[in-house]
Amino acid sequence: MDCSNCMEKEYINESTLDSIFKVGFGIDLKCIEGSSKEGNAFMKAFDDANEMVYWRYVDPFWKLKRALNIGNEAALKTNIQLIHTFVPNVISTKRQLLSTKLYMNVKEDILSRFLVESEKDPETMNDKYLREIILNFIMAGKDTSANTLFWFFYMLSKNPLIRERIAQQVMDITVSEAKYENVEDFVATITDATLDQMHYLHAAITETLRLYPVVPVDGRCAREDDILPDGHKVKKGDGVYYMAYAVGRMPKFWGEDAHICRPERWLQNGVFQPQSPFKFVAFHAGPRICLGKDFAYRQMKIVSIAVLRFFRLKLVDDMKTITYRTMFTLLMKEGLRLYAVPRAPT
Specify which residues 221 forms β-bridges with.
Answer: 239
Give the pLDDT of residue 206. Answer: 97
Give the residue-averaged pLDDT of 138-146: 75
In this predicted structure, the answer to whether residue 250 has a pLDDT above a threshold of 90 is yes
% the chain with pLDDT above 70: 85
Binned at pLDDT 50, 70 and 90, residue 16 comes out as low
Give every CB contact of residue 346 below 8 A, 6+ residues apart in sequence.
171, 176
Q: How confident is the model at residue 124 (pLDDT cuts 50, 70, 90)?
A: confident
Average pLDDT of the segment spanning 16-23:
70
pLDDT at 196 over 90: yes
The confidence score (pLDDT) of residue 15 equals 66
**Residue 135: is its pLDDT beyond 90?**
no
Mean pLDDT calculated for residue range 7-32: 64
Is the confidence at residue 252, as pLDDT, over 90? Answer: yes
Compute the distance between CA of residue 171 and CA of residue 185 in angstroms, rounded to an integer. Answer: 16
In which band, very low, low, confident or very high, does the pLDDT at 328 lie, cut at 50, 70 and 90? confident
The residue that leads in pLDDT, 175 or 156, is: 156
> Does the pLDDT value for residue 14 go beyond 70?
no
- pLDDT(115) > 70: yes
Length of the chain: 346
Q: What are phi and psi of 271, to 5 degrees?
A: -110, 135
Which fold is adopted by the domain 146-342?
A: Cytochrome p450 (1.10.630)
Q: How confident is the model at residue 64 (pLDDT cuts 50, 70, 90)?
A: very high
First to last CA, the chain: 23
Q: Is the pLDDT of residue 87 over 70?
A: yes
pLDDT at 6 over 90: no
> If 0-12 CB within 10 Å is exposed, 13-18 middle and 19+ buried, where does residue 249 land?
middle
pLDDT digits (tens, 9 = 90+) for 269-297: 999 999 999 999 998 888 888 888 888 89
What is the per-residue pLDDT for 107? 56
Question: Quick one: pLDDT band at residue 181, thresholds 50, 70, 90?
Answer: low
Please state the φ and ψ torsions of residue 68, each to the nearest 5 degrees: -90, -5
Distance CA 24, CA 109 (A): 5
45-57: average pLDDT? 85
- Tell me: pLDDT of 226 over 60: yes
Does residue 56 register a pLDDT over 60?
Answer: yes
CB 100 within 8 A of CB 61: no
Q: Strands 233-234 and 271-272, how do they pair?
A: unpaired
Give the DSSP letter string of 100-126. TTS---TTSSHHHHHHHHHHHSTTTS-
Q: What number is the average pLDDT over the span 31-59?
A: 75
Q: Is the dihedral of CA 53, 55, 56, 62 positive or negative?
A: negative
pLDDT band at 177 (very low <50, low <70, confident <90, very high): very low
Highest mean pLDDT of the ranges 26-35, 64-73, 138-147, 286-295: 64-73
Among 23-32, 223-232, 239-248, 314-323, the range scoring the smallest mean pLDDT is: 23-32
Mean predicted lDDT score pLDDT of the chain: 83
Distance CA 71, CA 56 (A): 12
Calculate mean pLDDT across residues 319-341: 81
Secondary structure class of 90 (helix, strand, coil): helix
- 296: helix, coil or strand? helix
Residue 311 backbone phi and psi in degrees, to 5: -135, 155
- Which stretches within the chain are classed as H helix? 9-24, 35-54, 62-68, 71-99, 110-120, 127-138, 144-158, 160-173, 183-187, 192-196, 199-211, 244-247, 251-254, 293-310
* Confidence (pLDDT) at 202: 97
pLDDT at residue 21 tops 90: no
